[in-house]
Amino acid sequence: MIRNIMLLLLCLCTCFLSSCVEQKYLEKLGLITAVGYDLAEEEKITGTMVLYQFNPAMQDVEKVLISKSKTSKGIRLSQNLETDHKLVSGQLRITVYGRELAEKGISHLVDTLERDSSIGNMVYLTIADTTAEQILNYQMTERPSNMGTYLYNLVRQNVESELLVSPTLQEFITDYGSVGKDPILPLLKASDGKVGVDGFALFTRDKFIKEIKKDKIFFIRSLMEDYNAGSVEVELPLEKFEPYLTSPHLRQEKDKVYIMIDSIKSSHKIKAEKKATPSFEVKLKIESRLLEMSEEMKLSDPKALRLLEDEIGDYIEKNIKEIILMLQDEGTDPIGFGTEYKSIRGHEDLSREKWDKLYKDASFHVKVENKIIRTGVID
Amino acid sequence: MNINVNPKERLMFNAFLIMFILHTAQTGVGIAGLPRVIYMEANRDAWISVVLAGILVSIVLYLMIKMLETYDSTDLYGIHLDVYGKWISKGFNILYIGYYLSVTYVILMNYIEMVQAWIFPKMPTWLLMGLLIFLMVYCVLGGIRVVVGIAFLGLILAFWLVFMIYTPIKYMDFNHLQPVLTSSPKQILMGIYKSSFTLIGFELVLFVYPYIKEKKKVLRYGLIGAGYSTFLFTVVTVVSIGFFSEDALLKTIWPVLSMFKILRIPNLERFEFIAVSFWMLVILPNICLYFWTASRGMKRVFNVSQKKAIYLFAVLLWILSLCVQDRITMNTITDKVGTSSFILSFVYPCFLFMLVKLKYIFKKKKGVDV
C-alpha cells in the first residue's frame, strides 16, 4: 500500500515539477513581434522593436523601443535595460530592414535570426521604403493593437491570396545560399495614414539593388510558383476589338481596353539547354476567368473570345519577356534560371562568378498559352 | 566463462523483435545530423553514399549472422574466447566493453547538447545526464527483455515523427539533387565512411543472439530492420539536400531538426520543441541497448554480477559528463569514437568471420583425419 502511494506521488511529481526547469511568466515578458534595422552612423545599426507586454493595469499593450549598437543582439541587450519586461524573441513574426541598410547587404543580420533557435523559420523578411523605424513607429489612422502583428497579417493574407512571393526566412536563406537564385522581398511603405506593400525589392546576393512596382509581380511570380487563384490586370489595344464592341467606348483613353482576369490557374516550365551560352525555354500555361472589362464586348461570339485569349496571352508574354530582360540587365535572378542551368551541366560545377557572367549572355524564349474558361455569370 | 550461453527460456524473446532492436539501435542522435555530415563529403550525391552504406551494412550483417550460426548459441564475447583463447580474448572483450560505454556516452552527450541548444540553454549538463542515466539504469536493471520492450515501444511511440517530414518535402527543390552522380568515387566512399557512425547498431545482433528463440529467422528479420533504417536515412538525406541550399546545409548542425522549424500547427507554433523532447524516446532504446551490452560484457568476462557493473558504469558516465564542457571537445571525441566504430563494427567483424570459418574448416579436417 505504502509502495503504491509512493509510486503515485512520484508520478505526480513528474507532472507538477516539469515546468520548474525554466520559468517564464507571461506578465514579466516583453514579447517581441517585430524588429527593424537601419543604418546608423559609425558602422552602427539602429534597432527598432515592437513588443507586446501584458499588464492588466495598462491599456496599451504595445511598446516600441529604439536603440543603437553594433550587432542586432547588442541592440536587444541595451533595450532590455529600457524596459521592466524581459525581452524574448520567440514570438517574432516579421523583420523590416531599412533601404540604406539593405543596399549594403543584410546577410549578417539574417544569419543571427537563423542561428537563434528560439526564432522560427517562418518569420517574414521585408524591406522598408525609407527606414524601418518609420514603418514600425508609424501612427496609422486606424491603430492596430500591435504593429508587428499587423504587418505579419498584412504579409500573410497577401501571400495566401497569391499576391506576394512568400518572403519567409526559410526561403530567403535557401535562395541566398544557392548558386543561381536570388531573393526577392516585399517593400513596405508608410504613407497617408496606412502601411502597405508598395512593391518588391530585388536582390543580388544579399544586396538590395532595384525595386519593381507591385503590378509587375505577377509576371515574376508566375515563373516562380504556380497560381491557384491569382489575378492580373491586362492592357490591350482597342482597335483589334473594334468589330466586337457593343457600345461606343466610354473611357478617356481611346486606344486601350483594360481587362481584369482572375481565378488564374497557371503552370510553368523552365527548360535549360546545354550550350556554351545558356538558353532557356520558358512555357507558361494560364487558365483564367474574365472578371472585368473597361469596354463592353460581345463575348458570346467565340471569335471574340479567341481573340481575347490570344491578345491576353501576347500581353503577358510581352511583359514576361520585358521583365526577364530587365532582371538580366540588373544581374538579379529571383526566378532561379541559374539553378535550372546548373542541374543540367553535369560534372562541371557552377560558381557564382561564372554564372554571373553566363547570365549576362543568356537567351530566353518565352511562350504563353492563355485560356479563358469562364466569363463570370453573364456573357 | 563458457563459449556458449544458454539463457533460461523465460529470458528469451521472439526473433521478429530483432527488427526493432536493430532499427532502434541504428537510429539515434546521429540521424539528426547525418545529412550534413555526408553532404560535406559527397556533395549532392550524399544519398547514394547512404544507400551504398546501407548495402554494406546488409553484407556485414549477413556475415555476422553466418558467423553466429557456426556456433550453437553464443555472443561476440564467446567467439573471442573460442578464437583467441582465455587471455587474449580478455583484451578484445575489454576493448568492446569500453567501446560500447563510450558510444553510450557520446549519444548521451550529443543529445544533451541538442536539448541545450534548442530548448533549455541554461540547463546544466550534469543534471540532464543524471536524469537520463537514472532512466537508463532503471530500464537496464530490468534485464534484456525490458530493454527489448523499450526498443519496441520507442519505435512505436516515435514512429509518427517520420510523417512530419511531409511539410519539408513541399519546400523541396529537386534541382538541388541534379545532376546525379557527379561526385568522384573517392568522395562517395568518404561519404560511406562518414555515415558509418550513424549506421552502427546493427552489430548488436552479435550480443543479443543467444536470447533469440527462433535462431533460424534472425537473418530475415535482421535484414528487414537494417533495411528500414537505410530507407529512413536515405529519405532524410534526400529531403535535406532538396530542402536546404548548399551553403545552408553545410552550416546547419542538425538539418533534420532545422527542417522541423518550418512546421506549424495552429496551437503549437514551434514544433521542433516537441521533436527534441520526443527524440528522447528515440535515443532511450539506443542507449539502453549499448549500455546493456557493455554491462553484459562485464558479467561474461569478469563474472561480476551485472547489477554491480551497471551501477559502476552509471557513476562513471556521470563523472565523465562533468569533464567535457564545450562543443569542440565533444566533436573531437565523437569523431574519435566514429572512427573506431568503423573499424570495430564494419571491418573487424568481417575479419573475425574469416578467422572463425578458417578455424571451423581446420577443425573439420582434423576430425576427418582422426
User: Number of residue pairs across A and B with CB atoms under 8 Å?
Assistant: 65
Paired strand residues for B13: B212
Nearest CA in chain B to A19: B120
Note whether A129 and A187 are within 8 A (CB). yes
User: CA separation (Å) from A273 to A247, B17, B47?
Assistant: 49, 52, 26
Cβ within 8 Å of B, A 174-193: 174-179, 181
Choose the mutation target among A121, A152, A159 for the interface with B, i.e. most B CBs under 10 Å. A121
Nearest CA in chain A to B171: A171
CA dihedral A311→A316→A322→A328, nearest 10 degrees, is: -150
- Cα atoms in the 13 Å half-sphere on the side-chain side of B165: 17
The SS3 of residue A164 is coil
Place of cell 512520484: A10
Rounded CA separation A345/B153 (Å): 47
Angle between helix B76-84 and B86-118 (nearest 10) = 150
The SS3 of residue A240 is helix
Choose the mutation target among A174, A181, A348 for the interface with B, i.e. most B CBs under 10 Å. A174
B327 touches chain A (CB under 8 A): no
Provide the edge-to-edge strand list for the sheet that holds A279-293.
Answer: A230-237, A256-273, A279-293, A363-374
| CB count in 10 Å sphere of residue A348 | 10
Rg of chain A (C-alpha set): 26
Choose the mutation target among A170, A333, A341, A347 for the interface with B, i.e. most B CBs under 10 Å. A170
* Cell numbers for A356: 554571373
Q: Which of B20, B14, B11, B25 is nearest to B286 (CA)?
A: B25
Task: Please confirm whether the linkage preceding A183 is cis (ω < 30° from 0).
Answer: no
- pTM over 0.80? The answer is yes
User: CA separation (Å) from B173 to B86, B89, B208, B309, B342?
Assistant: 58, 52, 43, 51, 33
Which pLDDT band, with edges at 50, 70 and 90, does A253 fall under? low
Choose the mutation target among B245, B258, B273, B280 for the interface with A, i.e. most A CBs under 10 Å. B245
- Cα atoms in the 13 Å half-sphere on the side-chain side of B202: 34
Paired strand residues for A34: A50, A94
Q: Which of B122, B182, B261 shows the shortest C-beta gap to A121?
A: B261
B117 touches chain A (CB under 8 A): yes
Note whether B275 and B282 are within 8 A (CB). no
**Enclosing H/E stretch for A155:** helix A147-160
What's the mean pLDDT in A14-18?
Answer: 74
A170 touches chain B (CB under 8 A): yes
Question: How confident is the model over A329-367, as pLDDT tens digits?
Answer: 888 888 888 888 888 776 667 788 888 888 888 888 888
Rounded CA separation A221/A210 (Å): 16
The predicted structure's pLDDT at residue B133 = 94
The predicted structure's pLDDT at residue A127 = 92
Question: How confident is the model over A281-297, as pLDDT tens digits?
Answer: 889 888 888 888 877 77
Nearest CA in chain A to B262: A121
Nearest CA in chain A to B118: A117
Cβ within 8 Å of B, A 344-363: 344-347, 349
Q: Which of A307, A259, A258, A314 is nearest to A286 (CA)?
A: A314
Interchain contact, A120 vs B258, CB within 8 Å: no
The SS3 of residue A92 is coil
B175 touches chain A (CB under 8 A): yes
The predicted structure's pLDDT at residue A250 = 60
Chain B residues inside the 8 Å CB shell of A108: none
Note whether B317 and B109 are within 8 A (CB). no
Chain B residues inside the 8 Å CB shell of A170: 171, 261-262
- Cα atoms in the 13 Å half-sphere on the side-chain side of A21: 16
Paired strand residues for B233: none
> What mean pLDDT is reported for chain A?
84
Rounded CA separation A84/A67 (Å): 16
Instruction: Give the rounded distance of the alpha carbon of B45 from its chain centre.
Output: 23
The predicted structure's pLDDT at residue B368 = 57
Rounded CA separation A331/A333 (Å): 7
User: CA separation (Å) from B141 to A94, B144, B306?
Assistant: 51, 9, 8
Q: Which of A178, A344, A345 shows the shortest C-beta gap to B245?
A: A178
Note whether A273 and A281 are within 8 A (CB). yes
| CB count in 10 Å sphere of residue B162 | 11
Choose the mutation target among B36, B123, B175 for the interface with A, i.e. most A CBs under 10 Å. B175
Burial (CB count within 10 angstroms: exposed 0-12, middle 13-18, buried 19+), residue A46 = buried
| CB count in 10 Å sphere of residue B124 | 13
Instruction: Chain A: give the shortest CA distance to residue B103, in Å.
Output: 27
Instruction: Chain B: give the shortest CA distance to residue A144, in Å.
Output: 22
Lowest mean pLDDT across A97-101, A124-128, A249-253, A357-361: A249-253
Rounded CA separation A355/A347 (Å): 15
Q: Which of B29, B45, B30, B32 is nearest to B246 (CA)?
A: B45
Beta-carbon contacts of A299 under 8 Å, excluding residues fewer than 6 positions away, are A290, A305, A308, A375, A379
A120 touches chain B (CB under 8 A): yes
The predicted structure's pLDDT at residue A72 = 78
Question: How confident is the model over B153-185, as pLDDT tens digits?
Answer: 988 888 888 888 888 888 888 888 877 887 888
Torsions phi, psi of A310, nearest 5?
-65, -45
Chain A residues inside the 8 Å CB shell of B261: 120-122, 170
User: CA separation (Å) from A234 to A215, A231, A244, A369, B251?
Assistant: 10, 10, 18, 15, 44
Burial (CB count within 10 angstroms: exposed 0-12, middle 13-18, buried 19+), residue B326 = exposed
Interchain contact, A343 vs B246, CB within 8 Å: no
DSSP states along A94-140: EEEE-HHHHHH--HHHHHHHHH-TTS-TT-EEEEESS-HHHHHH---
Which residues does chain B have with pLDDT short of 70? 367-370
Question: How confident is the model over B299-315, as pLDDT tens digits?
Answer: 988 889 999 999 999 99
Question: How confident is the model over A26-39, as pLDDT tens digits?
Answer: 778 888 889 889 88
Nearest CA in chain A to B247: A177
The predicted structure's pLDDT at residue A346 = 67
- Cα atoms in the 13 Å half-sphere on the side-chain side of A214: 13
Rounded CA separation B43/B25 (Å): 27
The predicted structure's pLDDT at residue A258 = 83
> Looking at this protein, which amino acid is placed at residue B181?
L
Nearest CA in chain B to A348: B182
The secondary structure of chain B, three-state, reads CCCECCCCHHHCECCCHHHHHHHHHHCCCHHHHHHHHHHHHHHHHHHHHHHHHHHHHHHHHHHHHHHHHCCCCECHHHHHHHHHCHHHHHHHHHHHHHHHHHHHHHHHHHHHHHHHHHCCCCCCHHHHHHHHHHHHHHHHHCCHHHHHHHHHHHHHHHHHHHHHHHHHHHCCCHHHHCCCCCCCHHHHHHHHHHHHHHHCCHHHHHHHHHHECCHHHHHHHHHHHHHHHHHHHHHHHHHHHHHCCHHHHHHCCCHHHHHHCCCCECCECCHHHHHHHHHHHHHHHHHHHHHHHHHHHHHHHHCCCHHHHHHHHHHHHHHHHHHCCCHHHHHHHHHHHHHHHHHHHHHHHHHHHHHHHHHHHHHHHHHHHC
A117 touches chain B (CB under 8 A): yes
User: Max CA-CA distance within chain A?
Assistant: 97
Rounded CA separation A91/A123 (Å): 9
> Looking at this protein, which amino acid is placed at residue B107?
I
Interchain contact, A343 vs B118, CB within 8 Å: no
Chain A residues inside the 8 Å CB shell of B245: 173-178, 181
Instruction: Chain A: give the shortest CA distance to residue B278, in Å.
Output: 15
The SS3 of residue A151 is helix
Interchain contact, B179 vs A177, CB within 8 Å: no
The SS3 of residue A372 is strand
The predicted structure's pLDDT at residue A91 = 84
> Looking at this protein, which amino acid is placed at residue A318?
K
Which pLDDT band, with edges at 50, 70 and 90, does A192 fall under? confident
DSSP-derived pairing of the beta strands A207-213 and A29-39: unpaired
B176 touches chain A (CB under 8 A): yes
